[in-house]
């Protein structure tokens, strides 16, 4: 059985979401630009894969996102955002326990 992944800091999760949303926001209109946009998208995919791997660590959701981004017009879906949602689900740091308050 595999051991659970360590919790991620809030900063790392927010940065991963920022990277994924930014890359998807750039790639969707770039994909409509034709072949030039495909090359821009391919470069962004490499940058996104490296940045997300550094921020979140390896996750299987990144591989299909990376591979399907290379297929023209399949890139119109926000696949990096979906991959980050799957990779960070339930991995945030636990909320600090609140001290007991006065009983009303």
What is the pLDDT at residue 31? 75
Backbone torsions φ then ψ of 8, nearest 5 degrees: -100, 150
* Cβ count near 88 (within 10 Å): 21
Domain spans, the chain: 10-88
Is pLDDT of 2 > 60? Answer: no
Mean pLDDT of the chain: 78
The Cα 69–Cα 79 span in angstroms is 8
Q: Say if residue 15's pLDDT is above 90.
A: yes
């Amino acid at each position: 059985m595999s051991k659970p992944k360590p919790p991620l800091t809030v900063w790392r999760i927010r940065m991963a979401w920022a990277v994924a949303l930014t890359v998807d926001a750039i790639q969707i209109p770039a994909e409509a630009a034709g072949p030039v946009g495909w090359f821009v998208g391919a470069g962004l995919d490499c940058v996104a894969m490296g940045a997300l791997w550094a921020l979140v660590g390896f996750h299987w959701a990144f591989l299909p996102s990376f591979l399907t981004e290379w297929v023209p017009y399949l890139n119109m879906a926000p696949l990096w955002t979906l991959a980050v949602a799957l990779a960070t689900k339930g991995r945030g740091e636990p909320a600090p326990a609140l001290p007991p308050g006065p009983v009303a």
